[in-house]
Structure 1
Amino acid sequence: MRPVAGRSSRAQFDAMSDIDNTTRRPGPWDLPPEQAAPEPVRARQSAPLEDKGQHPAWAIASTLLMAGFLWWITGSVIVAGAVLFGLFVHEYGHVLAMNKLGMGPARIYIIPFLGGLAKAQRNPKTEWHGVLVSLAGPAFGLIAMIPFVAIGLALKSPEWLMGAFFIAMINLVNLLPAPPLDGSKALGPVLTRVHPRLEQVALLAVGGLAVWWGLSTGRFILAAFLGIAVFSHLKRGVWRAAWGQLSWPEAGRSLALYLATAAVCAAAAIGALLPLTGGAVEPAFDMGLRFIGVGGR
């Protein structure tokens, strides 16, 4: 019996020795060494790449194309420069809000003949954050008016004041609740809070009217852009979770901010025209209406 016990103890010692002192040979079910990457490495490889933004060469080319297009449709270097400057400031307002709310670092893209786009690295955490981001562009974009109003008043130049008016109109038109404009992203969650289908009906109706407005006033590129956006949104079905994600207090604040931003943009547009009408509000209002092609005397 003792030899057997000795052999058993020896076998146990050998087994312990194999575990502690030698490297286990790969078995038939093990992955090859080159495929068995450590878990942290595979996690890093699967993480989404950060958006580096528009390539500098394409950004310069897009800006030049946009500037040339604006000069062609406005006939004024100053007004074209105002619109381009206002476009950058508007998009930078979105960027500031995105970065502040943890969606950044956000990037600005210039889209020739159409405008600009602020692109975040990740989605907003809540619908309320999305509303704030969408309204930050029009609200912040009005800052671009300041130098043009100041120079226009100092030089008594209608051209500089018209540049300020166009900047205000960029931000006001963006508040239309038509996809994919900022107004649809600010007002849409409020409508969904009432009923998920209300957003679809309202935004598609306004989008259709915006397309008709673009065609009837000769803004064919804008009409085509809005038409494609409305059609793509039409195929999405229900756009948000049932009854939305805004609470009722957040929906109230969103609606109040939307209306306040629209009122400030409209007042800024009329205010830029007041020096051209001797301070008379009604003629300035008529000038604004004639610009958007809906009447005016």
Structure 2
Amino acid sequence: MMKLLLLLFSGVKFSKLLASGGTMIISVAVYAWIFGWWYAVGFVLLMFVHEMGHYIAARQRGLNVGLPTFIPFLGAWIELKDMPHDAETEAYIGLGGPLAGTVGSILCYFLARNYDSDLLMAVAYSGFFLNLFNMIPLSPFDGGRITAVLTPRIWFVGVPVLLALFYYRPSPMLIIIGLLAWPQLWRAWKYDPEAEENKAYYDMSGEVRFTYAAYYLILLAFLAVMTNDVHELVQAARQVKGI
């Protein structure tokens, strides 16, 4: 009986691994149809690195978490089966993704410079931009999860950013994100810092708030600079080749 249970348990874990890997392969195939195989593989791998940053951070805090699920053009996410017990834990998990994703993008960048690879430079740019995009201080973005350690009301700062992005480059994905953000904004609007449940979740020391604010601003500034600089390198390479 014990052997049978272990076999069934391992089968469940294998099915979850298969499901995660399957959605990853589907995403690669869809992106490859538009951008080519090698770019698609690099882009999806960077998304995987980003999500594994969340995964590792959640496991470090003792939370039960599922493997990443991928949906083309909507990105990827991990399933938190245990919810964070306070805003600091949520911020820690939120920071893990863009931090790991930034490291992966830096690696692509240095490989691109070392091997003079326009393809790797394009992948690096996508990685920097993806992580910068996720730093918008609005839930469900990672930036919203990090900055909530200050106050959920900071999410309203992300609204004009999202609107500006939609004005600059309209996208159905931004509309979907806006719909997902609406309930969070409503929750922030009704937020009462004196409510007992909010005190239990959001009551943090000034040192914790300052630390995460510093992490957020430093990473945001670095990603903004790298996204801009790598974009210029990609554009310059395209002009040289007459693309």
TM over 0.5: yes
Alignment of 1:39-188 (within 5 A): 55-72=16-33, 75-188=35-148
1:96-120 alpha-carbon deviations (Å, 9 max, x no partner):
1111111135432223331111223
Q: Return the TM-score normalized by structure 2.
A: 0.75
Which residue in 2 is equivalent to 1:189? 149
Give the structure with the higher percent helix: 2
Counterpart amino acid of residue 203 in structure 1? W
Q: How many residues align?
A: 220
**SS, match of residue 148 in structure 2:** helix
Aligned: 1:226 with 2:177: yes
Cα-Cα RMSD: 3.1
Q: Is the 8 A contact 2:31 2:72 kept in 1?
A: no
Aligned: 1:206 with 2:167: no
Distance 2:192 2:45 in 1: 34
Distance 1:105 1:230 in 2: 22
Counterpart amino acid of residue 90 in structure 1? H
Q: Is the 8 A contact 2:23 2:71 kept in 1?
A: yes
Which residue in 1 is equivalent to 2:204? 246
Deviation >4 Å, runs of 4+: 51-54, 273-277
Distance 1:178 1:71 in 2: 30
> Does 1 or 2 have the higher relative contact order (CA < 8 Å, sep 6+)?
2
Q: Is the 8 A contact 1:172 1:266 kept in 2?
A: yes
**Bigger Rg, which one:** 1
Distance 1:128 1:179 in 2: 15
Q: Is the 8 A contact 2:132 2:220 kept in 1?
A: yes
Distance 2:100 2:86 in 1: 21
Q: Is the 8 A contact 2:64 2:80 kept in 1?
A: yes
Counterpart amino acid of residue 261 in structure 1? L
Q: Is the 8 A contact 1:215 1:223 kept in 2?
A: no
Q: Return the TM-score normalized by structure 1.
A: 0.63
Which residue in 2 is equivalent to 1:217? 169
Q: Is the 8 A contact 1:79 1:166 kept in 2?
A: no
Distance 2:59 2:14 in 1: 14
